[in-house]
Structure 1
Amino acid sequence: MTTLALNGLGRIGRLLVRRLGASRPGLLGAVNDPAPLEQLVHLLRYDSVHGPSERPIEGFAEGGQDFLLLGDHRVPLFHASDPAEIPFPSPTRLVVEASGRFTRRADAARHLKGGVTHVLISAPSPDADYTVIAPVNRAGLDPGRHRVISNASCTAHATAPMLKILDDAFGLEHAGMSTVHVVTNDQRLLDLPHKDLRRARAAFQSIIPTTSSAFGALHRALPDLPPGFDGVALRVPTLNVNLVDVVATLRRDADPASIKAAYASALAGPWKGLVGLAPPHAVSCDITGRAESVLMDLDLTLMLGPRFVKVFGWHDNETGYAARLGELVLDLTERL
């Protein structure tokens, strides 16, 4: 069994620790994050969106080395800023790069030293060896050739099944997407300089139009997407759960009933567990904690013509993404 290490205890890194602590408590061999031990322990224990940890989490220092205690499992905690300087213990072979800082291949590949053979980036990467969106293209992942791997983004994992199910059932002539997206730590709490002048504005004061990293990941994972597939993200002042709006021109006629039937039938096929149905009259807080990649709100489906459709899907951008990341981690640790 491959030993796993984690670089970065941000939003996704902490949720991944919680998930692995519940399913495979002995798998995590080491963690790195520059923040002090006591701060990291507190943030692992308590979460303003997802609530307190269901399992005990402690921290302590011994012989000059920090440790996390996840239940009864001791995990060394390092505090390096440069991936090349992290002393991950042998026999670590897989590193999850979850800091958000090292998304380019050359930067993430700085982990490839000692016994580390593979890096899994918990974000879109412009030049990773392979970008995975399960189950669209996971079968094409070849650890023998792909050493720096991207798990795409939460929005990409939500949008891919929405597009693929439509394409399989009706064909796609044209398509676009917009996402109503919660604020993230890459925005300013109050007005402050940022290279994106819209993200420089106070995150909880406005609806903030900006770009989405999902489009590059979607084009890499779904190379047959219609030419020009693109869209926009609208950042809104909430903490969790996004709504994806896909608009498409179909190759074959459809109606609301056939659109709904296509998504409903997909739930029992390869998308089982990854695509779900939103509860009736859902609002965003109803989706918190759901682990599916997307929950289709079929009551919002709009036919704007026999081949022109709008469909909507909710997703918990943190829980759902951490679930896909954890599944890919378990797959890789079995294959390496």
Structure 2
Amino acid sequence: MSVIALNGLGRIGRLLVRRLAASRPGLLGAVNDPAPLDQLVHLLRYDSVHGPSDKPIEGFTEGGQDFLLLGDHRVPLFHATDPAEIHFPAPTRLVVEASGRFTRRADAARHLKAAVSHVLISAPSPDADFTVIAPVNGAGLDPQQHRVISNASCTAHATAPMLKILDEAFGLEHAGMSTVHVVTNDQRLLDLPHKDLRRARAAFKSIIPTTSSAFGALHRAMPDLPAAFDGVALRVPTLNVNLVDVVATLRRDAEVATVKAAYEAAAAGSWRNLVGLADPHVVSSDITGRAESVLMDLDLTMMLGPRFVKVFGWHDNETGYAARLCELVVDLAGRI
């Protein structure tokens, strides 16, 4: 199995390290992040949303080289800012690009040197070789052909099964989506210039309508979606867990009961562990820590006409996405 390296210890990068340290500790061969060792160790140990790490995490310097100690597994830590300047150890075949800075193919492909043959971007990319939402189009991922791969976004991974299950059960004529989305680090804590004038406003003061990268990723991964599929993101002053609101016009008549039954069957069958069912009366904080891509809140299902449906799904936008990323990393590492 190929050794992997990680570029970027942000929200998703740190959760990926935690998951790999717990499940596949020998797979992670190196990490790069420009931040100082002591700060990175502290942020890996403690998380304001997900709590302290289950595994001991230490940091040390030896012979001028920084290391992370994940349990008893030593991982060299580099501090380059440019992918071309990172010299990952020779066994490294796959780099997970999680910095958020290099989402275009040409930028991410700068990792493709020495033994590195593949790059997996932990975000939507406008021009990656392949955008994968594994349960939807994973069979089309060909490591021989696809060298720079995008794992889409947390919202795309939540929305894709919601749409796919509806389409398989009733057919989709038209569809749209809104996501009630937590704040992210690309917003301003206090009012400050930003190219998106709404994101320039204080993140914890207002509901902030903005765009979502999920729509492009969904169209790339699901080319049979209705052409006009689109929507909006409403950023709200919370730290974790999003709510996806899908509206669709169906090709066949449906009822609330039959729509619920379609999701219940999917959650118990082919979508097991990826699609879950939320308990009655939950709110967003109840979903923290759930690793499914989406948890359907079936009590909120509405039929606004015999073919006009509205469904809602929760997702822990960090835990769920990190789980899908980890699964894809393990899969790719075994195939390249």
What TM-score range do you get, normalising by the shorter chain? over 0.9
Does residue 64 of structure 2 align to residue 64 of structure 1?
yes
Report Cα offsets for 1:34-72 as digits up to 9, x if no partner.
000000000000000000001000000000000000000
For residue 218 of structure 1, give the secondary structure of its aligned residue in structure 2: helix
AA in 1 matched with 2:308? F
Secondary structure of 2:177's counterpart equals strand
1:290 aligns with 2:293: no
The one-letter code of the counterpart of 1:212 is S
**Alpha-carbon contact 1:4-1:95 (below 8 Å) kept:** yes
Cα distance in 2 between the residues matched to 1:107 and 1:318: 24
1:77 matched to 2:80? The reply is no
When normalised by structure 2's length, the TM-score is: 1.00
Contact 1:135 1:270 in 2 (8 A): no
Residue 44 of structure 2: aligned partner = 44
Paired residue for 2:112? Answer: 112
Q: CA deviation at 1:147?
A: 0.2
TM-score w.r.t. structure 1 length? 1.00
**Structure 1 match to 2:201:** 201
* Contact 1:133–1:152 (CA under 8 A) maintained in structure 2: yes
Q: Supply the distance in 2 between the matched residues of 1:301 and 1:267 (Cα, whole angstroms).
A: 16
Taking the aligned partners of 2:154 and 2:216, their CA distance within structure 1 comes to 13
Q: Residue 46 of structure 1 aligns to which amino acid in structure 2?
A: Y
Instruction: Report the Cα distance in structure 1 between the residues aligned to 2:75 and 2:90, rounded to whole angstroms.
Output: 13
Q: How much has 1:269 moved relative to structure 2?
A: 2.5
Q: Are residues 1:163 and 2:124 paired?
A: no
Partner amino acid for 1:38? D
Question: Could you tell me how far apart the structure 2 residues matched to 1:73 and 1:147 are?
Answer: 28
Is the aligned partner of 1:276 residue 2:276? yes
Match of 1:267, SS state, is helix
CA contact (8 A) 1:92 1:115 kept: yes
Paired residue for 2:314? 314
Number of the residue aligned with 1:30: 30
What SS does structure 2 have at the residue aligned with 1:174? strand
Aligned mates of 2:227, 2:292 — CA distance in 1 = 28
Write out per-residue CA displacement over residues 141-165 of structure 1, whole angstroms, 9 at most, x where no aligned residue: 0000000000000000000000000
- Alignment map for 1:169-248 (pairs within 5 Å): 169-248=169-248
**What residue identity is the alignment partner of 2:166?**
L
Q: Flag structure 2 segments of 5+ consecutive residues without an equivalent.
A: none
How much does 1:99 deviate? Answer: 0.2
Q: Which moved more, 1:116-125 or 1:266-275?
A: 266-275
Q: Cα RMSD (Å) of the superposition?
A: 0.4
The count of corresponding residues between Structure 1 and Structure 2 is 336
Please state how far the C-alpha of 1:252 moved relative to its aligned partner.
0.3
**1:255 is aligned to 2:240:** no
Question: Aligned AA for 1:192?
Answer: L
Contact 1:173 1:226 in 2 (8 A): yes
Same amino acid, percent of matched pairs? 88
> How far apart are 1:207 and its partner, in Å?
0.1
Which runs of 5 or more residues in structure 1 are unaligned? none
